[in-house]
Chain A
Amino acid sequence: MITNFSTSSVRTGIKRKRFWDQSAVANSFFSIATTTVGSGGASDITFSNIPQTYTHLQIRAIFSTSVSERSVRIQFNSDTATNYSYHYLEGYNTTVSSSAASTIAYGLIGVTPASTTYPGSCVADILDYRDTNKFKTVRSIAGGDPNALGSYAWFASSNWRSTSAITSIKLYPSSGNFNQYTQFALYGVLA
């Protein structure tokens, strides 16, 4: 298994940062915080005061929403301006489709199935989250199957057009609330 590796710039010969393929393990993956929604549900989940000591962040989550078949949105540093864009590709039941949006107020990291009982899940990577020289990019795999129609296999890329280091993350459904037992866990990855 390739865990991580380095590359060199063809133009400059400079050694670059190591890539990470979601399976790097040796002393490089740390839990930052976890939130589990209680019996009353929650309109959003926010991670604040994110330490600036890692290279990448990963969000691992299971979720269901009070209104089914909702997207899970993401915002950074309380920025609600139209500084985000995304693309996604999805398998919805037996139909494949793709969509994109730009100059909007949120990114996307997941989608919930047609059920308020059976959860969806996602693994989302936020790359170079504290690099002040580049806009921030999120990649996500997600989906949910309710043992019925209304199922998704879904992956996406989102972009936040800011060079600010990410210090807080807000996650919320496109409508309704997160249900009880929804859980979002935030991890830091060292390269």
Chain B
Amino acid sequence: MPASNTYESISSVTLSNNSTTVTFGSIPQTYTDLVLVIVAKITSGGLDMFVKINSDSGSNYSYTQLYGTGTSALSARASSQSIGIAGAVYASNDGVVINQFMNYSNTTTNKTWLTRINVAAATVSLITNLWRSTAAISSLELSSGNPAGTFTSGSTFSLYGIKAA
């Protein structure tokens, strides 16, 4: 058995005020994967949660989303987007979102991540995402809608790192 745990907390944010964005900057490059766990609401309505990686606003993002509305199972996709999807947030109840950013620190492969969304009052969903860049991920900027909505006070954003052998 390896001597040490390989799943470690990097940073955690609990909003003390409503906020339109949450940013994890200067992400250490010492892990293999990132796991971003979000428990959040917004002030009104329901919106996709977006992520901008390394401040990249180019048309380098795409996604495919499998989701259930309560009455139907649907799939949607989009190419060449200027921002990525990192979940969904609603005002009706806190949603739980887990993002798995795979091999974020390598510089040989394009980056992919899996997003699992559970919002009891609104949807369940699985999203596969692509960022067409081989750059290591060093920052993640999350926003609650486009145009930006507002994350409510008390929403939590926890970033973990997993280190492979």
Contacts and interface: CB of A to CB of B under 8 A. Distances in A.
Contacts of B160: 23, 25
Contacts of A185: 32-33, 164-165
A187 B6 CA distance: 9
Given A29-B5, A53-B1, A121-B113, A145 B75 contact: no
B64 to A, nearest CB: 4
Contact of B79 (A119, A141, A147): A147
A32 B65 CA distance: 31
Given A1-B156, A143-B114, A145-B63, A96 B1 contact: no
Mostly, the A contact residues are: strand
Interface in A107-128: 117-123
Interface string A170-191: 0000000000010101011000
Interface stretch (A65-73, A78-86, A149-157): A149-157
Given A25-B9, A29-B5, A62-B102, A91 B64 contact: yes
Given A25-B7, A120-B128, 6 more contacts: A25-B5, A53-B1, A94-B75, A96-B75, A122-B114, A181-B108
18 contacts: A28-B7, A29-B7, A32-B165, A34-B165, A53-B1, A62-B102, A89-B66, A90-B75, A91-B65, A91-B77, A96-B66, A96-B74, A121-B114, A145-B128, A145-B129, A147-B79, A183-B103, A187-B6
